[in-house]
Chain A
Amino acid sequence: MKLVKSRLFWPAMALVTLLVVNIVVNPNFARITMRDGQLYGAMVDILRQSAPLMLVALGMTLVIATRGIDLSVGAIMAVSGAVALTIIDGSGDPDNVGTVAIAIGVAVLVSLVLGVWNGFLVSVLGIQPIIATLVLMLAGRGVALLITGGFITTVNSDPLSYIASGYLTLLPFAFFISVAVIAVIALLERRTALGMLTEAVGINPEASRLAGVRSRGIVWGAYIASGVLAGVAGIIYASNIKAADANAAGYLIELYAILAVVLGGTSLMGGKFSIAGTVIGVLTVQTLDSTILFFGVPSAQSPVFFAVVVIIVVLVQSPRVHAWGRKVGAMFRSSKETPRDGTPPGGATATSAPVATKPEHKEVSA
């Protein structure tokens, strides 16, 4: 029962259900083959392809925890990819590891600056997060198009392709990037007081300020983190398609990232956040995407399914549906056993003092 009440139970169940459906419909889905000491298979692909969304969603989790939202992540991805690939393209030797490293360094630095800008608008000027990040969302893609000169810059660079397609021993390199970022964020947020302070700022900015929390720095930091992670995600994306496409890079990713965060059980109202939940949410979104493709639906039509998922998720979270659920639960219980006021369905049997097991005690509570 404790398991059921865990915040991660329902997100995890959704992912498991999705995986089971896939395996039942297509047994090949679960097959993982070993070739040259490297693992291949549909599930490995999901881990590899989920890397950009994972980074963006983790950054988004931090921002949402501070009661904010970052719409500019897709645009930052486009800028970052454009910067990195333009540098590599302009250099004489695209296969040089040093060149690629410098290009990535510059691109991440640019993303950091964009994150600082977002954070400045929100935490210093006090502009609503949706609008503050909307500015960059609009302008960012324009900037990216200017950097690439309006074209799709394509680059053939082995070190660059390695980031998205290469393998580090058993598993794809991109997967290790995800794991490293998850580990760093989990350590920073959960092994230090930072996570608690972030939640405090998100739950009640005014009270946390009065309690001496420097909310400005925490909010600012969240946007910087989101910017940097989006920058790295942009490089992975560019590396995957071996091109900087300012229009397609990170298209709608802000929405998928928000969806993943919400699926993972983090409320958009800020405050409590769950990194594990976001990880599960990202894997769910990615698996759903592959599932839709697998069922032969053109990928362009997949938003319909995501719309249905968003609607189901928000309905499950809404207070009205909870109230209905309780009503139905209460009716169900009162017809079967003694009504116990205030006890959640299926929980806390030990504390219910007036245990009446006789059916004659049946009465409907108001």
Chain B
Amino acid sequence: MTAQTLEAPKTSSPGAIKQFAARHASVLPTLAAIVILVIVLIGAQVEFGNFLTARNMSALLLDNAYLMVLAVGMTFVIVTGGIDLSVGSVMAFTGILGSSMLASGTPVWIVIPAMLGGGAAIGTLIGVLVQYFNVQPFIASLAGLFLGRGLAYVVSLSSVRVENEGILWLQTTRFYLGDWYITPTGIIALLVVAIGAITMAWTRFGRTVYAIGGSEQSARLMGLSVARTKVAVYVISGLCGGLAGLLLTAYSGAGYPRNGIGTELDVIACVVIGGTLLTGGRGYVLGSMIGVFVFGTIKTIISFMGAEQSWTHIIVGALLLLFIVVQRAIVARSDRNT
């Protein structure tokens, strides 16, 4: 299932639909996510009447920019069949690291590379443990989670305000197009999604990532650079964690060591809802973006309703369940076919 045919069927007879479903089994979960997103958006519009506004939709990207960056990194890891639990605490660590460095007068051009480097370093550690020491990704990234969270508190026990204009510019600047606006943080998030999607779809590295997820053994026998790629996906995820730390710091105007507790679960949920298979081998970066939008929309709807924010996680948990059951059915069917 690595090769995907790109032409869409023109006819809409039942046979064609079946054929489409059989041929594009790996796209189906992502299509389902888009359908859910559309249903949720239309439902909210019907219910509230003023939901689908330019302001609201722009805010959706703004509020979830950091989540989107994390989801891109996580997609790489999950497609290889791994998992990265460390992203939330890496984000907290790099965020507080950056804000403390700024507070002590370090120039921005040192701070931002340091934040990205800090994230990438933790990612490298996880990748090396996974690849060279046969540690399960779950446990290796668990060590990363502890390390990131602990280091965040080592840097500072309380929140540190950011007064650097360069960082705050990322959040406060708004480029308007009619009523729509986008902030530099939103642009960064979309850029990361674009780079991630292009890398996964059209580069040798991306093909290798899919191949490892499909069958690591086969990938190795084919002579692909499995070891390098497997370490690299964790480095990418760590790097995304560092970038998310920057975006979140800009968004909240402060670094806080308790940021991102439980974010790793939200990210995994978004990626799965976006149609990436947790067993690896199938998934799309664009799907993860849709997953983040679904998550963000649910969050917005709940605050519109004025209900408890705890409902967000209950609904996302239910959606997650729905998607993994659907995925299991799809995998079971395509296993029968092949």
Chain A residues engaging chain B, CB cutoff 8 angstroms: 69, 121, 125-128, 130-132, 134-143, 145-146, 150, 246, 251, 255, 258-259, 262, 268, 298, 300-307, 310-311, 314-315, 318-321
Contact = CB atoms under 8 A, between A and B. Distances in A.
Contacts of B134: 318-320
Contacts of A311: 125, 129, 143
A125 B257 CA distance: 39
A150 to B, nearest CB: 6
A300 B103 CA distance: 22
A346 B11 CA distance: 74
18 contacts: A125-B325, A125-B328, A126-B328, A138-B266, A138-B269, A139-B318, A141-B310, A142-B310, A143-B314, A255-B145, A255-B146, A258-B142, A301-B153, A304-B154, A306-B150, A307-B143, A318-B133, A320-B132
Interface residues of B, number: 46
B195 interface: no
A305 B312 CA distance: 33
A145 B150 contact: no
Contacts of A136: 317
A321 B310 CA distance: 45
B200 to A, nearest CB: 22
A71 to B, nearest CB: 9
A217 B331 CA distance: 25
Contacts of A143: 310, 314
Nearest to B266: A138
B306 to A, nearest CB: 13
Given A139-B314, A146-B314, 18 more contacts: A127-B324, A131-B272, A135-B317, A142-B311, A142-B314, A142-B317, A145-B308, A146-B311, A255-B142, A268-B139, A303-B147, A303-B149, A303-B150, A304-B154, A310-B142, A311-B129, A314-B140, A318-B133
A142 B299 CA distance: 13
Nearest to A136: B317
B252 interface: no
B133 A321 contact: yes
A124 B39 CA distance: 30
Given A304-B146, A305-B150, A318-B135, A142 B324 contact: no
Contact of B139 (A251, A258, A302): A258
Given A139-B317, A143-B314, A258-B139, A314 B144 contact: no
Given A141-B313, A142-B317, A307-B146, A128 B279 contact: yes
B157 interface: yes
Contacts of A318: 133-135
Task: Count chain A CB atoms within 10 A of each CB in B136, B150, B265 and give the residue with the most.
Answer: B150
Contacts of A135: 317-318, 320-321, 324
B278 interface: yes
Given A128-B279, A298-B153, A311-B129, A304 B147 contact: yes
Nearest to B257: A300
Nearest to B135: A314
A101 to B, nearest CB: 29
Given A135-B321, A138-B269, A146 B310 contact: yes
B133 A315 contact: yes
